[in-house]
Structure formats: structure tokens, C-alpha cells
């Protein structure tokens, strides 16, 4: 019985008062050699036997990466129908004071709560009797959880210490409880001599643990009482606020104030003994503080996704996400939130080193990925959709670290999307959202878990960073859209506006390409502002010299008559596009958002509505805008208007050559103007009207008045898209009643306009008038209007033709205007008009 109690003495971690003599290392097994798949009575390693040895992760097997220091280990998985039995052949006679030392721990398996019960006993032969077995530790020593390795030391029974051959039997039983049972791991087994520990503990590790905490690790277990006295520590003379033990050789030291990132500190440590009473001498350790929980954007990268694994592939049929640390700093992952688009879960304690790859996987399947590197079992696992999901990392404070979104097209083909291929990030050092750069793995295994991606390249750039558009979403809300993502580290003090407006807050949207700015006070409508952003950083980490600037205006809503239909080309030459030109008749900037063009259906209602006004679009004071389906082709067709303003949309409403109606619709869906055109409205002397636009003569005269439209001048390529009309007349009325403009014209267009415009303005409605053209000899040439009821203003045009449509001779002509009203008032006005010709 004395031997039994002596045998179950064990020490956790490093020694419990004893350590191995460096000169007398004995029989050792580190399980790095390949196991022979052979069961008792055959050996699977020299001197080692197991009752059921396998090559897979079940029964007794060799486990990669789960030993001490990520080495290999011996693993046993007890289940309801299997308890593991291991026999070890030893030769204690070679040592003066032989003892067995090994390291063991349990690993979580599934979600059950059954521990692994580990017993040991001694025997003189494999088939002989063994002493009464003893329990290693307590019943919950190896619970179904992820433990750290602990060192155990066993004493041999006295009567066996001089034997030439002794067998140690270890039994790993399926413990009581419910559900699955723990997996048991064994590493660095050896038989040898031990000598008493007389060496004081030493500081092995000192580094940051949190923003106001330090991680202090010793090279052996330390006294659990003395090590928790705050008086034993001083940081720059300041006593810590709290001490807690992380394990038997590590303490966490907490302070009231946060520590400064990158600052060098001195920690004084005194009177800390080990378990044998060896005291650490008063020690001062200098270190540079870094908070391993201070995550910045892209300080950790989601580097690879396996949303849709498949069976019968080289990789296990397991969803996984690979993380990569692209920085030169180690991070502590405890508390980091890992999420999909629907749920999130907290990661467990793990220190990820610079340049390290780390796999996240469901806790009940994580062991299948252990051969590929370090794995964190995650429970509950945020399952990935096969397509259309967003995977993210956020700090414990909710700050974004990284995010990847993917859809079916991310695989660039259904054969990849359904083929068990992972999605890889091309450049993990890219400081912006990598979603649009995801590609299916080209590795033969269809994925690269735990190593550099098959598509790795640092050449991920879209060229120079520029602002594509800038506009007000409201009086106090600005949106800037960039041509590519940028590092989303922008503060309000980086934004300046002139005339002065202050930014209140900023945020990023649209996959990192749009910057939103909320202003302290609203902007003034139609006033130009110069906006400047300083200290912008590109996704390659380059600081832009001088920042970026842009001009923007808070556009106003247009009233009726502010935006008008100004020019229409409905009969384009072959290969050229049709176009409709609109004109801003005001001195204000007018918003074009959601404005549209349409035609009329058989019921006279707007039809084929085509929205041309995009978010933030506007038209400046007095501006013109030609809307077509091909801006470049339109510029080539009318080179004299190449510098005009153009807008290209995918399609125009149908505007037939034979005639139709152009409808202009506002943001609110109201019909703001209609223009019913007809080929007969063209100048009668133009024989071929193909490629000739109809231009509006007066912006003040309604579009419905046919005389307000005339063919564009041949001197201007027969159309003026995006610029002032060739046939426009002055907006100012210079006469009390009648104005003729121009008074000299050539119907053939050899110089200037091909027609003249007669405008009238009356003091009241109800006048009746006749407008006639006479030759210098007094003959009637043309009647423009006969006893027509007139409005208060209007216009007529004369193209230099007589009543038969023939061109008149060059010379002087008289415009005779006869007016009378119902009160008997009459007025006769005569104006001279000259019809010119080419010399």
C-alpha cells in the first residue's frame, strides 16, 4: 500500500520540486517516429503496445501538431465501446533512482461532459499480473475540455526498481456523464533519474496581456500564495491593482491606468518562490509594452474560406476559415468575435504570432484539420452559406478587424463553386476589403489551409486613388465615391471645406469606396464648396501627398420651366445616336436626380420612361446636357459640339422618325414639359433632314408652340448637342410690342440664321392679330397668321419662302402686323426684314 501511495505522486507542469538530471537522460519516447499500425501483442513503437492502434483519429493513434510545441503526440479516444490500454516496456535497473515522467492533457471532443479516467499499474511481464491500478489525478483530472499539458512523475514500486524489465500499463477509460468523452494526449515520456530542485525560478516571459495588464511567465511552477501578493511587483514604482494566476507558472498583473503602446517599462519582482521554496532574487526586467488585444483594421486577415467542402476530396469535408497575421505583432484572440451574416461567436484564448496562419473550424470537426497546422475549435460554429454570405472579425469592443463577403460569382464559374474549392485572398497585406479579389484556389488539393495561398501576390492595385463623384445627399450630408477602396481610417478633422463648413462625423460604405460626411451646419444651396481630405492612405499603405480635393454644390430642386427640352435629334444618320438636350434656364444649380425622359402611349400617358438622373447629378446655371446612348459617337458626329456636356444612358424612349412626343419628367414623377415634333417642322429649304436636329428658339415660349422650333444651322454641323443652340434668340424683349430677330437672314444659311423670328408682347390677353409679309412693291408674299386670338406673348418664324413654299428673291420685305381688341382699339405696326444671299 505504501508503494501505491508513492506511485501516485505526480507533479504538474515542471517538476513539483524535482527536475531531470541533464547527464542521466533515460529511456525516452517523444512519439515523433511513425506508428506501426499494429495492436497488442505487436509493438507500434519499440517497447510500446496498444490494444487497438489505428491510422485515423480514433482508438489509439498518432496525433500531429497536438504535442508539446506543436509536435506529435500519442492520442487515445475512449468511447462507449472502447477503453484504451497501453503497455510500456521499461528497464529500471539502469538507473539508481528510476522514475517515470510524462506530459499529458485532455482535448475537447464533441459537446459531451465525460472525462477520460486514466489508471496506471505495474507488472513484470506483458501477460503477467499487474499491481492494483491507481487513478492518475482525480476523476475530473482530464475533463472533456481543451487543457494545457501538465507533467506527471510516477515512482516505481520498491521491489521493481532493480528489475531488468518492468511493464507500465496505462488504461484510458470512457468516464461517467453524458454525450461524448474527452480525448487523452500523452507526450515526452521517459524513464530516468531525478535530482532535487535547488534552482530558483526565473522569468521566462514578460509581455502585454491587455491594455492595462501584463503577462508574467516563470520557467517553473511558483508558489500559489506568494505569487499573488501585489507587494511582490512594482511597475516603474507603482504597485499593481490586482494579480491573478493564469496557471501554476504564470500570473496576470493588472494596473488601474492603461499602459502606453510602444513605451519601455521596468518591472521589479521580488520574493517569489517555487514549490520547493527556492526564492527568485530581486529582479528588474525591462520590456517594451504592446497590447495584444489592440486590434486595428486589417491587423488580422480572413485569408481563406471553405464554404462548401465536398466528400471524396484531398481536403477533409469540413468548413474552415483561415486567419493570417500580416503584422509584426502577436495578438491574443480571446474575446474576438467571429461571425457570419446571421450570428457570431467568441474565439478562445490563442496567441497568433506574426506571419502565422490559423484555422478556425467547427469544434466537433476541428481535429480533422490538425495535420494542416494550428486549429481553434469554434463552438457554436457560424456556418457559411454556399453563396451570398459575409464572414467577419470584430474586437471585443465591437471594432471591425476584417470582413469578407462572397457570392457565387466569386468562384468565377459554377464548376468551381460546386467543386469543393476554397476561396483565397490574393494579397493578405492589402489594407482594404479583399472581397472583390477573392478567387478559387488553384492548389491541386483545392485549398491551402495553414499555408500561403496558391494565388498569393502582392500586386493588388487599381492604380491611382481618385474621387469619382462628390455630391450632397442632403444639406448637411456629403457622399464622396472613390474609384477604388481606401484605408477606412478617416477622422472628421481630416476634412476641410471652403467656404468654411465643419465636419461632424465620417463613415465608410459601399465596400470601402464611399465616404460619408455629416456636417455640423447645413450648406448654402447653389454655392460652390471646395472640399479637401488630408492624410488619405491607399490600400497599399501609401500616404497620399497633399491629399485629394473636389468641388461640390448643394443642388436645388427645379420648378416648372427651370429645366426644359431644348433640342431633339429624332432622325439620326446611320450609325449615329439620337439625342435629347435639356437646358437649365436659371442661375441656380438644379438637381437631376431621378429625372427621366419618356414618350406618350396611345392613351396620351407617359410611356417607356427612362431615368437619366443619377444620385448627385445636377446641371449648372444656364447649362445644357445632351442625353444619348453613345456620347463618344455623338461627339464624332458633331465635332463643333465636341466640348458640349453629354450624358450616356443605356436606352432612350422610342422617338420615331415620322413624329412623336418627347416628355420630360421630374423627380416627383410630374410631367414638366412635352414637345410634339414633326418632320414638317424642319426648314423648308433643307432637302435632307437626316442628322438635322430641331432646336428651341426661345426658352420662354412653350415647347408646344411649333414656331418655337427650327432646324439647326448648317454652320454648326446641323446640331449643337450639349451647348447653346445655333438658332436661339435673345431672352430680352427690346420693343414695346413687336420684335424681329434677326432683321437680316439668308434662307440658305450661307451666313447666320436661315429664318427670322417675330415675337410679340401685349399688355393684356384678348387681342386678335394678323401677321403678313409684303414685298417692297406691295405684293403679299406670305401670311403668318390671319385674325388669330393672341396671348400676352408669342412668336412666329419666317424662313424666306412665299405661300407656295418657294424661296423669295433677295431684297427688302415689310412685316405688317394688324392688331385689334374687343374694345375697338386697333394698332398697325410695320417692320423691315432683309432677305440676303451668298455673294
Cis before residue 499, ω within 30 degrees of 0? yes
Is the confidence at residue 630, as pLDDT, over 50? yes
Strands (E), 694-792: 694-696, 709-711, 738-741, 744-745, 756-761, 768-775, 780-789
Q: What pLDDT was estimated at residue 461?
A: 61
Which residues lie below 8 Å from residue 366, measured CB to CB, with a gap of 6+? 318, 359, 375, 376, 377, 378
- Mean pLDDT confidence for 136-144: 92
- The pTM for the full model equals 0.57
Is the confidence at residue 356, as pLDDT, over 60? yes
Euclidean distance between CA atoms 711 and 348, whole angstroms: 77
Q: Which of 530, 482, 529 is nearest to 508 (CA)?
A: 482
Residue 198 has a CB neighbour count (10 Å cut-off) of 10
Q: What pLDDT was estimated at residue 129?
A: 85
Query: Which of 28-32, 487-491, 517-521, 533-537 has the weakest average pLDDT?
Result: 487-491
Dump pLDDT digits (tens) for 795-828: 889 989 998 888 899 988 989 998 887 677 788 8
Is the confidence at residue 169, as pLDDT, over 60? yes
- Mean pLDDT confidence for 219-239: 93
Q: What pLDDT was estimated at residue 510?
A: 65
- Pairwise pLDDT comparison (5 vs 722), residue with the higher score: 722
Dump pLDDT digits (tens) for 746-776: 888 777 778 888 888 887 777 788 999 998 8
The β-bridge relationship of strands 357-362 and 375-378 is parallel
Dump pLDDT digits (tens) for 563-580: 999 999 999 999 999 999
Query: Which of 153-157, 266-270, 574-578 has the weakest average pLDDT?
Result: 153-157
Is the confidence at residue 736, as pLDDT, over 80? no
Is the confidence at residue 26, as pLDDT, over 50? no
Are the C-beta atoms of residues 122 and 160 closer than 8 Å to each other?
A: yes
Is the confidence at residue 17, as pLDDT, over 70? no
Are the C-beta atoms of residues 2 and 134 closer than 8 Å to each other?
A: no
Is the confidence at residue 280, as pLDDT, over 80? yes
Euclidean distance between CA atoms 91 and 28, whole angstroms: 12
What is the largest distance, in Å, between two alpha-carbon atoms of the chain?
151
Q: What pLDDT was estimated at residue 116?
A: 97
DSSP, residue by residue, 683-710: -TT-S--TTPPEEES-SSS-TT-GGGEE
The backbone region for 303, taken as left when phi is positive above 0, alpha when psi lies in -120 to 50, beta otherwise, is alpha
Residue 735 banded pLDDT, cuts 50, 70, 90: low
User: Which triple of cell numbers denotes residue 217?
Assistant: 511567465
Task: Give me the sheet containing 606-611, strands edge to edge.
Answer: 606-611, 596-600, 660-665, 671-677
Residue 13 banded pLDDT, cuts 50, 70, 90: very low
Percent residues over pLDDT 90 in the chain: 67
- Mean pLDDT confidence for 186-209: 89
- Mean pLDDT confidence for 115-127: 94
Are the C-beta atoms of residues 218 and 203 closer than 8 Å to each other?
A: yes
Round the average pLDDT of the chain to a whole number and report it: 89
Is the confidence at residue 792, as pLDDT, over 80? no
Q: What is the DSSP letter of 450?
A: T
Dump pLDDT digits (tens) for 68-102: 878 999 999 999 999 999 999 999 998 888 999 99
Q: What pLDDT was estimated at residue 663?
A: 97
Q: What pLDDT was estimated at residue 19?
A: 37
Euclidean distance between CA atoms 665 and 655, whole angstroms: 16
Query: Which of 428-437, 584-593, 607-616 has the weakest average pLDDT?
Result: 428-437
- Mean pLDDT confidence for 634-648: 95
- Pairwise pLDDT comparison (44 vs 777), residue with the higher score: 44
Q: Which of 239, 290, 234, 286 is nearest to 265 (CA)?
A: 286
Is the confidence at residue 20, as pLDDT, over 50? no
Residue 700 banded pLDDT, cuts 50, 70, 90: confident
- Pairwise pLDDT comparison (823 vs 335), residue with the higher score: 335
Are the C-beta atoms of residues 768 and 788 closer than 8 Å to each other?
A: yes
b/e for 104-138, b at 16 or more Cβ within 10 A? Answer: bbbbbbbeebbbbbbbbbbbeeeeeebbeebebbe
User: Which triple of cell numbers denotes residue 330?
Assistant: 502577436
Reduced to 3 states (helix: H, G, I; strand: E, B; else coil), residue 79 is strand
Residue 730 banded pLDDT, cuts 50, 70, 90: low
Q: What pLDDT was estimated at residue 261?
A: 95
Euclidean distance between CA atoms 564 and 595, whole angstroms: 12
- Pairwise pLDDT comparison (167 vs 697), residue with the higher score: 167
User: Which triple of cell numbers denotes residue 590?
Assistant: 438644379
Strands (E), 554-640: 563-569, 579-584, 590-591, 596-600, 606-611, 618-619, 624-628
Residue 176 has a CB neighbour count (10 Å cut-off) of 11
Q: What pLDDT was estimated at residue 511?
A: 65
Q: Which of 652, 668, 658 is nearest to 580 (CA)?
A: 652
Which residues lie below 8 Å from residue 265, measured CB to CB, with a gap of 6+? 235, 236, 259, 286, 287, 288, 289
Could you identify the residue written with the cell 507500434?
44
Instruction: Please state the φ and ψ torsions of residue 646, each to the nearest 5 degrees.
Output: -125, 150
- Mean pLDDT confidence for 378-395: 94
Are the C-beta atoms of residues 332 and 209 closer than 8 Å to each other?
A: yes
Dump pLDDT digits (tens) for 232-247: 999 999 999 999 999 8
Q: Which of 122, 137, 101 is nearest to 25 (CA)?
A: 101
Q: Which of 217-226, 626-635, 704-713 has the highest mean pLDDT?
A: 626-635
Q: What pLDDT was estimated at residue 788?
A: 84
Q: What pLDDT was estimated at residue 462?
A: 62
Q: What pLDDT was estimated at residue 97?
A: 86
Amino acid at each position: 500500500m505504501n508503494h501505491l501511495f508513492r506511485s501516485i505522486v505526480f507533479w504538474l507542469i515542471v517538476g513539483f520540486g524535482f527536475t531531470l538530471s541533464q547527464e542521466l537522460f533515460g529511456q525516452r519516447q517523444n512519439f515523433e517516429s511513425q506508428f506501426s499500425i499494429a495492436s497488442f501483442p505487436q509493438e507500434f513503437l519499440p517497447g510500446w503496445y496498444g490494444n487497438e492502434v489505428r491510422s485515423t483519429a480514433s482508438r489509439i493513434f498518432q496525433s500531429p501538431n497536438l504535442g508539446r510545441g506543436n509536435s506529435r503526440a500519442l492520442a487515445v479516444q475512449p468511447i462507449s465501446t472502447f477503453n484504451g490500454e497501453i503497455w510500456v516496456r521499461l528497464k529500471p535497473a539502469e538507473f539508481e533512482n528510476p522514475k517515470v515522467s510524462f506530459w499529458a492533457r485532455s482535448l475537447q471532443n464533441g459537446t459531451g461532459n465525460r472525462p477520460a479516467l486514466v489508471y496506471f499499474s505495474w507488472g513484470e511481464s506483458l501477460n503477467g499480473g499487474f499491481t492494483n491500478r491507481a487513478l492518475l489525478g482525480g476523476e475530473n483530472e482530464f475533463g472533456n475540455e481543451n487543457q494545457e499539458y501538465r507533467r506527471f512523475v510516477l515512482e516505481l514500486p520498491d521491489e521493481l526498481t532493480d528489475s531488468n524489465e518492468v511493464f507500465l500499463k496505462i488504461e484510458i477509460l470512457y468516464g461517467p456523464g453524458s454525450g461524448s468523452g474527452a480525448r487523452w494526449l500523452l507526450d515526452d515520456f521517459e524513464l530516468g533519474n531525478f535530482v532535487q530542485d535547488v534552482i530558483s525560478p526565473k522569468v521566462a516571459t514578460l509581455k502585454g496581456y491587455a491594455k492595462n495588464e501584463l503577462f508574467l511567465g516563470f520557467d517553473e511552477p511558483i508558489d500559489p500564495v506568494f505569487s499573488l501578493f501585489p507587494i511582490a511587483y512594482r511597475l516603474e514604482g507603482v504597485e499593481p491593482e490586482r494579480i491573478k494566476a493564469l496557471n501554476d507558472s504564470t500570473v496576470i498583473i493588472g494596473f488601474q491606468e492603461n499602459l502606453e503602446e510602444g513605451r519601455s517599462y521596468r518591472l521589479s519582482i521580488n520574493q517569489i518562490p517555487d514549490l520547493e521554496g527556492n526564492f527568485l532574487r530581486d529582479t528588474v526586467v525591462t520590456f517594451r509594452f504592446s497590447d495584444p488585444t489592440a486590434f486595428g483594421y486589417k491587423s488580422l486577415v480572413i485569408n481563406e474560406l471553405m464554404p462548401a467542402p465536398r466528400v471524396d476530396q484531398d481536403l477533409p469535408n469540413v468548413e474552415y476559415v483561415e486567419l493570417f497575421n500580416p503584422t509584426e505583432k502577436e495578438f491574443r484572440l480571446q474575446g474576438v468575435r467571429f461571425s457570419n451574416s446571421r450570428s457570431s461567436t467568441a474565439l478562445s484564448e490563442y496567441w497568433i504570432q506574426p506571419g502565422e496562419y490559423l484555422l478556425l473550424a467547427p469544434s466537433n470537426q476541428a481535429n480533422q484539420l490538425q495535420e494542416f497546422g494550428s486549429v481553434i475549435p469554434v463552438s457554436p460554429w457560424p456556418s457559411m452559406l454556399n453563396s451570398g454570405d459575409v464572414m467577419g472579425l470584430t474586437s471585443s469592443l465591437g471594432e471591425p478587424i476584417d470582413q469578407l463577403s462572397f457570392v457565387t460569382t466569386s468562384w468565377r464559374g459554377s464548376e468551381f463553386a460546386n467543386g469543393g474549392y476554397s476561396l483565397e485572398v490574393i494579397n493578405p497585406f492589402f489594407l482594404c476589403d479583399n472581397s472583390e479579389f477573392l478567387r478559387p484556389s488553384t492548389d491541386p488539393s483545392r485549398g491551402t489551409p495553414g499555408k500561403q495561398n496558391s494565388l498569393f501576390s502582392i500586386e493588388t492595385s487599381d492604380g491611382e486613388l481618385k474621387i469619382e463623384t462628390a455630391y450632397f445627399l442632403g444639406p448637411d450630408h456629403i457622399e464622396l465615391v472613390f474609384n477604388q477602396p481606401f484605408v477606412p481610417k478617416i477622422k472628421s478633422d481630416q476634412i476641410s471645406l471652403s467656404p468654411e463648413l465643419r465636419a461632424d462625423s465620417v463613415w465608410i460604405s459601399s465596400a470601402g469606396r464611399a465616404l460619408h460626411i455629416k456636417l455640423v451646419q447645413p450648406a448654402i444651396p447653389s454655392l460652390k464648396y471646395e472640399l479637401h481630405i488630408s492624410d488619405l492612405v491607399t490600400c497599399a499603405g501609401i500616404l497620399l501627398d497633399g491629399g485629394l480635393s473636389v468641388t461640390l454644390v448643394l443642388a436645388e430642386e427645379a420648378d416648372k420651366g427651370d429645366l426644359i427640352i431644348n433640342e431633339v435629334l429624332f432622325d439620326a444618320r446611320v450609325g449615329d445616336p439620337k439625342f435629347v438636350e435639356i437646358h437649365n434656364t436659371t442661375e441656380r444649380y438644379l438637381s437631376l436626380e431621378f429625372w427621366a425622359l419618356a414618350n406618350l402611349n396611345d392613351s396620351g400617358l407617359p410611356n417607356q420612361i427612362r431615368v437619366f438622373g443619377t444620385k448627385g447629378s445636377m446641371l449648372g446655371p444656364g447649362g445644357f446636357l445632351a442625353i444619348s446612348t453613345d456620347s463618344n459617337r455623338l461627339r464624332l458626329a458633331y465635332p463643333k459640339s465636341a466640348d458640349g456636356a453629354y450624358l450616356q444612358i443605356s436606352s432612350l424612349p422610342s422617338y420615331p422618325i415620322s413624329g412623336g412626343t418627347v416628355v420630360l419628367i421630374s423627380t416627383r414623377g410630374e410631367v414638366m414639359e412635352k414637345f410634339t415634333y414633326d418632320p414638317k417642322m424642319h426648314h423648308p429649304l433643307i432637302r435632307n433632314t437626316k442628322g438635322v436636329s430641331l432646336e428651341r428658339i426661345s426658352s420662354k415660349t412653350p415647347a408646344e408652340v411649333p414656331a418655337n422650333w427650327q432646324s439647326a444651322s448648317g454652320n454648326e454641323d446641323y446640331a449643337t448637342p450639349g451647348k447653346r443652340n445655333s438658332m436661339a434668340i435673345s431672352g430680352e424683349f427690346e420693343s414695346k410690342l413687336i420684335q424681329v430677330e434677326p432683321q437680316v437672314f439668308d434662307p440658305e444659311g450661307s451666313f447666320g440664321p436661315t429664318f427670322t423670328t417675330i415675337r410679340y408682347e401685349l399688355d393684356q390677353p384678348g387681342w386678335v392679330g394678323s401677321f403678313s409679309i409684303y414685298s417692297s412693291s406691295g405684293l403679299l408674299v406670305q401670311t403668318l397668321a390671319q385674325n388669330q386670338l393672341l396671348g400676352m406673348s408669342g412668336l412666329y418664324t419666317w424662313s424666306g419662302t412665299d405661300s407656295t413654299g418657294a424661296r423669295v428673291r433677295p431684297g427688302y420685305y415689310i412685316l405688317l402686323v394688324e392688331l385689334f381688341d374687343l374694345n375697338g382699339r386697333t394698332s398697325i405696326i410695320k417692320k423691315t426684314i432683309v432677305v440676303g444671299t451668298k455673294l
